[in-house]
Structures are given as C-alpha cells and as structure tokens.
Structure 1
C-alpha cells in the first residue's frame, strides 16, 4: 500500500503531473473491481479445496480476502491523496508565477527603474553620474583647477638621532591629535610611526624620505581642499636636539586660486611645502564654483561630478558639454520585464484553471477552475492592469504609454512608443509607475497580501497539507489493520486447510471401503477385515 512521507512533500509535485478528480475516481473504481475479482478467485479456491480437487492456496487466499476487505477504503484514500496533491501542485505553480511577478516589478514599484539617468560629457577628464533627483538638461562645464592635498617635508635630521622628548600636537583642518614623544620613539622614523598608529589620527600619513642630506619627516593630508591644512606644535621639550624645530603653521590661500602657505618655528630647520592645499575650481553655465574635493555633489541637482586634471583643458577653463538624460534603456527594459512576467502569469492561469473541451468529460477543467482564491487573485490583478492611475485631474493608463491589454488578458508592449513616452513624457510615465499609487506599487501591495503569511495562498495550502497528513495517518492505520487481518486469516485458513485435507483423506478411505458411484468397495467384494 502506498503512503506519503509527509504533508509537505505534496507541494513539490510538478504542475505537469496533475491528475484530475475523474482519474482519481476511476482509480478507486479499478481498485474495487480488482478486489471483487480477487474475492471471486478466493471463493473458487475454497470450493475447489472442499471438493478435494486441490488443497487451499492459503497465502493467495489470505491476500485476496484482505485486499478485498480494505479495497474500498484504500482506493478512497488514494483518490483523495491524488486530488490534494493535484490542487497543491496547481497552487504551487500559481504561487511561483506570483512570486516571479512580485520580484520582477520591484524596480517599477519602488521608483528605481525610472530614477536612473545617463550623464555624458563631450570632452575628456570629466565623468558624472545621476541620482533619481537629477535635473535633466545640457550644461556647459569648465574646470580651471582640481583639488589638492597639502604635503610637507621637514628639515633633514640624522636617521637615528634622538630629537628629544615632549608632546607634539598635529592637526588637519579642525581635527587634531596629541602624540607623546619618548626615548622609545624620538627619532624621525619613531615620530612617523607614532603619528600613523595613533587612534586619534586626524587624517594624515607620515613617512620618512632619506636623501643625501639626511632623513626628512613627510606629512601628507588625506583630504584635499584649502581648509584641510596641516599644523604642528611642540610643547616643552627635554634634551632638545631638533624636536622643537618641528613646529609649523599653515595658512590657506587668500583666494581659491592661491596656494596655501606655511610658517616654520625654526628658520634654521624650516619645513618645505611640496604640495599646497587647494580647492577645485570650475564654472557651470558661467556660474563659478569651488569644491574641497574633486567629487562635486552640490553643483547640479542630483548629479555627481568627478573632476580630473585632464578636464582642465587647453587653454585652462575650456568648457565641455555635460548632458543629463533619463536612462530610457533601463526604464524600457523594466517595463518590458513587467509585461513578460504578467503574461507568464496569465499562461499559468490557463494551466491551473483552464477548460479544455477536447478532454474526457470530468477531466476538462483545471484543478483550480472555480476556486475562490484563484478567482480573487486573477480579478484583483486584472483590475489593476486595466484601470488607470490618477495624474492631476485626469487618469493615465498603460495604453497611453504603449501597453495594450488583449482579449486573452495578456499584454503587448510597443517598445518604440514606450521609449518615445519616456523621452517626451517622462512625467506621465513616472505618474503611471509612481511608488505609492502606481500600477506596480498597487500590484506589489496585492501580491504581498496574497503571498504573505496568512494570505490567500497559505490559507489554501494549509488545509490541503493537513488533509494529506491525515490521509497518511489513515493509511498507516489501514496498513496495521491489514497486517492484523492477514495474521488472523492466515491462522484460520491454515486450520481449515488441515481439516479439509483430513476430510478428503477420510473420504478416500471410505470410498475404498464402501465403494463409490461407479465401483464396489472392499467390503462389497468380501475383502473386508
């Protein structure tokens, strides 16, 4: 007898393996008919045995009788099991189609699909990207200076010379740190290591460059811009052998075009500025702007500019055109994906709830034909697709941007018209797919409800899985009953077989003694004892 291992295993049956309820009923009828035939064979076996023609085939007889006894219930459970599995398979196929649509329309429902922009420059050295708030248009951008980070080099010292002990305060812009200089770190390399390893490092790196004149302490700001200058001060020094001369003050340039300058504490051992701190300088449509970084995020709404030295041009300040436009390719692809996924779902509708008149009567309808859950899902999504979205005082529909609703409930996308609408009427397309009341947003809300915990899908799967679990329990019980019945019949018919064998033996003896219908026995011939 077939059983199922668990209720959950039913949901893994493929949609293509669906069996109609008519076939299930037929299977139950076949099981009952086979049992009746087995019962007749068993009866004939008993008759044959009782007439002495043959001994009973106890094993076959018991099997036939047990099967006949449980055939009705066995067939009913198998039919019910197949029917449940068929419905679960259909619901699983529907669930897969809904989940694919849910995931596929996310870029349209959350606004990211229509919030992508292409930003291109017709010159060199200038790149850019746009966010969902980018202002489309053509901009004349001229770069005259890129941002730079200050780099300083100290006077030369002996590589292993102990410079003294004390406290060194180092700042970059408005951030600072304090470093204790001790006998363990008071060489040039020791000071560099102490600066780099400090947990309060304000944003600079320290290295040592050794030349013919000695070892130089090199300080580099990690941040560009005129405001990120480096300052060094040294407190009271003990055993001073050059530590106090490391004091230095930086001053930003008087204008963005002017470099930063430095003043060393020691005129005998001065610092050298090898790179000044400067802001980037540019104009956009004639309006001048500066930035402490070569990544400019505030000059054009929603656009990030990335400046390089190559953008300065020849002569300096030569403008180039920056074009900001909606990425119609990505948006059109997202809309096409929505159409394809919806059409795939409509195909699934036909597979799980369609009607095929060419099939045998009773097997023409899909397992979910007439199902309330299915009808609710289908009508809800169809209503969203066919209805428009309010746009000001009027409505805008899928048809307005090139998506046609066909008689068979599928959609057809006119890619050319969609691209044209994205270019000429981006506000209308954005309204149709807005992230609150747009087509995809409303569909996502409904799909979340259908597929979520306690939703229509789960509420229809749970009773079927519970029923399959109950069927499995009943099949186990029936199997135990069949085993018990087999044991009982085995004992009874084995005993009967023994009695019948004894009776047949006695009958043969009496026939030999008294004779039969066609012969005289031993007593009749006077040969009796």
Structure 2
C-alpha cells in the first residue's frame, strides 16, 4: 500500500480546517494581547494630543506674562504735526501741545565740488569730536582709500565718496547730531588742505573751496506746553514721562494725546481663554464616559489626566491675595454655567481703567507674590517638560507595550510549535486511517472474489 502524505486524503477529513479551528481557540490569549496593545497605543497617542493642547495653552500663558501687556499706553498725534510719538507701558495719560522750531542735525563737510582733491601724497588727519581726538595716518592713495582709512579709525565721523557728475567729493558727516558733536580737522602733509575749524570766524561754505561746510551741527528746538526746549537729538525721551518723541519736521504746535491701550490686554486674555477652553475640551473628549452607550474614552480614569484637570481649575479659582483684584472674575474672566471660560471685555475695561497695575499684579504677580499666569505656568511645566508627568506616563505605557510584545513573541512561538504538533498528529492519524481504508477495500475485494468462485 502506498504511503499517504497529503493531509486529509487518507481519512477524507478537512484536517487543515480542523487545525485552523483548534488554533483559533489557542490564539485567544494572543488576540487579547493585541487588543490590550491597541488600547495602550491609543493611550500614548491621546497623551500626545493632551501635550499638544497644553503647549498651545503654555504659549497663551506666556502672552499673559509679556511686559506691559496690562498697562500699555497709546499715543495719537494731530495730522500735520512735526513729530511722531510712542509710549512705554505705564506712561501716564495726558494731553500736550508740542511745536518743532528746529531739527537737530550733524555737521557735514565736503571737498571741492569743482576740483577733485588728491590725497596721493599722504599725511595725517587729526579728527576732534568733543573731547575725543583721533588721528588717521595715511600713507597715500586714492580718495576711496582715504575714505576707508577714516572709517576704520572710528573717530565719530563717517566718510563717503560721492561723484557729482564732474568730480568725486569726499564727504565727512558727524556720527551724531547736536552742536556738541561738531568736529574739527587738522591735516598735515598731503592732507593739510583738509584742515577745518567749525568755530572759525569765516567758516568756508563755498563749494569751490578745497573743503567747505555743507551743513552745520545744530540742536533741536521744540516747545512742550509753551516751554522752550533744546535737545542734541531728534529723538527726545526725557521730557514727557514714558513718552518718546521723534522730531520729523519744523511745524507749528500740534496735540499729543497719551492714553491707556487695552487692546494688548484683551488680545492676551482672549487668546488665553480660547486656549484654555480648547485644552479642557480636548482632555474631556479623551477622558469622557457615555453612560447611555456605556462607552469610555481612551483616557477615562487616567489619574494623570484627572489630576491635570483638577489643578488647572484650581489655579483659576485660587485668589491672589494682597491686591485690589484677587480673582480673575473681578477683571472679567470667569466660568459660565456650562463650565466654559469666558471674557467680559467691558468688565476688563473697567478694571484696567480703575487700576491697571492691580490687574497686572493679579495676572503676572509683583516679584514677591506669584500671579495666576505664573501658577499656571508652573502646573503646565510639571506636565509638559522633559521627564515631566506626561513623559513619565508615556514611558510607563511604552514599558507596557514592550512587555506585551515580549509576551506575544512567547505565545506565538508556543502556537507555532503547537500547530506543528497538530499537523504531525493529524497527518499520522490520516495515514493510519488511509491504511485501514485501503486494507478494508482489499479484504472486501478478496471476499467477493472467493464468493464468486464458490458459486461457480
């Protein structure tokens, strides 16, 4: 009798199907591990979403901590004024009449506009600006090389070369405006003709002269509420507290109004409110439980997330003692009936108008007392920093995934061996049954042959 090697041929049974069903039962622990792994993987992904939401909230909290956001000041200037103005945070509100009678300017000299100066013989050029004296030793060369040598000396004078259409002119300009920054030149050798004294009785101003004054150094002259003032620069920041004037042109009196600017505070608080609500919404959706469908979200019951929710709410409701405002609700930031954080801009405006420094203290603190933003920042940092609470939780879940993978490998190895055993056992059984079936067929044929012989 031939050896039967094809599974099921000897017995007529669907041996592969039987083994598949047996293995499906044996695979149940592996399937359970797959389900467990999917749950843990989803938890890691969900914690990543929580971290992302917290990062957005952190950025909004940093906006609350920006300098001057709660006591910003704005300025308005009449059309046609000879100046612009900007105000630092905390600048007192007020109105001022400002006129500009003269702009500050730097001294400017130039070599002849008709006969190009030749510095090829070289020499020295002493430059004096106020109490500072610098000496440029020039061995000779082109006008451009002399320009570079003067600039390299950092003498408080800027040099340039301008082609006027006929000749090149060396132009020397004071680095700063104001009469105190007028400069004198003393030349020797081939640079002797560049000597210049701004205090001389007859200062050269004719473009045909070897060197002449293009522009005299002068101070700015302005009036503020009828008070005549002189300043060396067109940037004036020491007249009105917290306000910088930039003089632009000679013009008559114009009105400058300094007032509080609440736009920065509104924007910062609204950004925070939006980020907070989005964060809470994200956390709630990932940790919720639906009693009707009896379905739990992926982070339902997670202690890390539950603690985070409690701490965020606690910080917002906790008072900051010692100031005119101790609760966020007093400046318009409060929870509605559904637990959503809202901003009442009218209430915020009233609080800022009453005491912007108290609003700033409530949110930002004052150096000795920590404000709401600082407390929130500490909470968020504990969760989002490297090796923080979320990192620690994710690492724990990652360890679970590693353990699950090792268990799966072990079980899979056992299943592979068991399937091989089943295959061998059923093949052996199939072979034996096939042999018995062949023997039965053979004997049946023999009995029939004997019975036919007897009858004959």
Q: TM-score, with normalisation over the residues of structure 2?
A: 0.85
1:229 partnered with 2:175: no
* 5+ residue gaps, structure 2: 1-6
Q: 1:125 to 1:156 in 2, by over 3 A?
A: closer
- Structure 2 residue 437 is the aligned partner of structure 1 residue 510: no
SS in 2 for 1:140: strand
Alignment match, 1:331: 265
2:203 is equivalent to residue 277 of structure 1: no
More displaced 10-residue stretch of structure 1: 97-106 or 280-289: 280-289
1:38 aligned residue: none
Is residue 2:327 matched to residue 1:397? yes
Say which structure, 1 or 2, has more relative contact order (CA 8 Å, 6+ apart). Answer: 2
Q: Does 1:192 align with 2:147?
A: yes
> Which of 173, 177, 180 pairs up with 1:220?
173
Partner of residue 126, structure 1: 83
Residue 114 of structure 1 aligns with which residue?
70
Question: CA shift at 1:150, angstroms?
Answer: 0.9
Determine the structure 2 residue equivalent to 1:3: none
With over 3 angstroms needed to count, the CA separation of the structure-2 counterparts of 1:183 and 1:148, relative to structure 1, is: closer
* 1:451 to partner: Cα distance: 1.4
Q: 1:291 to 1:338 in 2, by over 3 A?
A: same
Indicate whether 1:97 and 2:53 are aligned.
yes
Distance between the aligned counterparts of 2:44 and 2:214, measured in 1? 75
Deviations 1:461-518 (A, max 9, x none): 211111112222332343344344444443443343333222211121122223xxxx
Counterpart position of 1:205: 159
1:500 aligned onto 2:433: yes
Q: 2:291 aligns with which of 336, 347, 357?
A: 357
Q: Per-residue deviation at 1:203?
A: 3.6
Report the aligned-residue RMSD. Answer: 3.2
In structure 1, C-alpha distance between the alignment counterparts of 2:454 and 2:427, rounded to whole Å: 37
What displacement does 1:129 show? 1.9
Match of 1:64 among 5, 13, 21: 21
How big is the shift at 1:399?
1.9
Specify the alignment match of 1:409 in structure 2. 339
2:355 corresponding residue in structure 1: 425
The residue number in structure 2 matching 1:490 is 423
2:277 is equivalent to residue 384 of structure 1? no
Aligned counterparts of 1:490 and 1:75: Cα–Cα separation in 2: 22
- Which stretch shifts more, 492-501 or 336-345? 492-501
**1:285 shift after superposition:** 3.2
Give the match for residue 439 of structure 1: 372
Q: What SS does structure 1 have at the residue aligned with 2:238?
A: strand
SS of equivalent residue, structure 1 residue 301: coil
Could you tell me how far apart the structure 2 residues matched to 1:296 and 1:160 are?
Answer: 39
State whether residues 133 and 301 of structure 1, in contact with CA within 8 Å, keep that contact through their aligned partners in structure 2: no
Quote the residue 2:4 is aligned against.
none
For the structure 1 residues 285 and 388, does the alpha-carbon distance in structure 2 shift closer, same or farther, using more than 3 Å as the test? farther
Distance 1:356 1:292 in 2: 73
Pick closer, same or farther for the CA change 1:139–1:107 going to 2, 3 Å. farther
2:312 aligned counterpart, secondary structure: helix
Q: What is the match of residue 147 of structure 1? A: 104
Cα offset for 1:269?
A: 5.6
- Asked whether the 8 Å contact 1:353–1:367 carries over to 2, the reply is yes
Assess, with a 3 A threshold, how the Cα gap between structure 1 residues 162 and 344 changes in structure 2: closer, same or farther: closer
Any gaps of 5 or more consecutive residues in structure 1? 1-47, 252-259, 515-520
Cα distance in structure 1, aligned partners of 2:365 and 2:253? 38
CA contact (8 A) 1:131 1:303 kept: yes
CA 1:307–1:183 in structure 2 vs 1: closer, same or farther (change >3 Å)? Answer: closer
* Alpha-carbon separation, structure 2, partners of 1:129 and 1:469: 60
Quickly say closer, same or farther: Cα 1:82–1:270, change in 2 above 3 A.
Answer: closer
TM-score by length of 1: 0.74
Q: Indicate if the aligned counterparts of 1:139 and 1:321 stay in contact, CA closer than 8 A.
A: yes
Q: Displacement of 1:108 after TM fit?
A: 0.9
Q: Distance in 1 between matches of 2:218 and 2:25?
A: 98
Distance 2:453 2:403 in 1: 74
Partner of 2:3: none
